Amino acid sequence: MSLFENDEYRWRETFFVLFKEEKRPTVETVLESLGTLGGGYELAGAGPEGGQFESLTLVSPADFSGMDISYVAGEEIQDQIHELQEELDVNDLTPEERQRFDMLAGSTARFDIFHFEQLVPGSDEEEEFLDPGSLLLVLETLASAVDGVGVDPQSGTLV
């Protein structure tokens, strides 16, 4: 079940991992990669074993966060890459960031990582329990699994 449908969670932000479609992983590959993060995560809806990865829900109770992760391919990927390339000032990039920037051009698929905050009953709306650490670890892990590039579209940065 998607966290969008769960009243205990509120959507906060979306990150992407852009990569070549031929690197699309199987369900097992994604589960193995995420398994390296340790036992603090709960998985749901990963799809049938033996198939290509489509989507899953990942919850990190210790971080008061959850993520819906889904696979996307198609024309919209190229449109998004062009927007990112126009937004980023290549002159301000470090050599490592420049290498990731150059990898964007060949990307034909992406993971959408929808990040959610777990709401704590009885807490003040202003109280922050969410720790973004799990999001960044998942982003890095998935990018590594598909030789992709993590992107924060809100800030236009490569992660």
What's the pLDDT score for residue 123?
61
Distances (CA, A) of 57 to 32, 47, 115, 137: 15, 10, 10, 15
Q: In terms of pLDDT, which residue wins out, 49 or 37?
A: 37
What's the pLDDT score for residue 129?
62
CA atoms within 13 A on the CB side of 113: 26
Cross-sheet strand order for the sheet of 42-44: 42-44, 55-60, 65-73, 109-118, 9-19, 149-152, 157-158
Distance of CA 154 to the CA centre of its chain: 13
Q: What is the pLDDT of residues 129-157, one digit of tens each?
A: 667 788 999 999 999 999 999 999 888 78
What's the pLDDT score for residue 22?
96
What's the pLDDT score for residue 85?
86
Residue 127 has pLDDT above 60, yes or no: no
Confidence of residue 84 (pLDDT cuts 50, 70, 90): confident
CB 101 within 8 A of CB 18: no
Please report, for the chain, the start and end positions of each structural domain, with discontinuous segments joined by +: 3-158
The residues that bridge with 158 in the sheet, in sequence order, are: 151
3-state secondary structure of 12: strand
CA–CA dist 31, 43 (Å, integer): 9
What's the pLDDT score for residue 128?
61
What's the pLDDT score for residue 28?
93
What's the pLDDT score for residue 156?
77
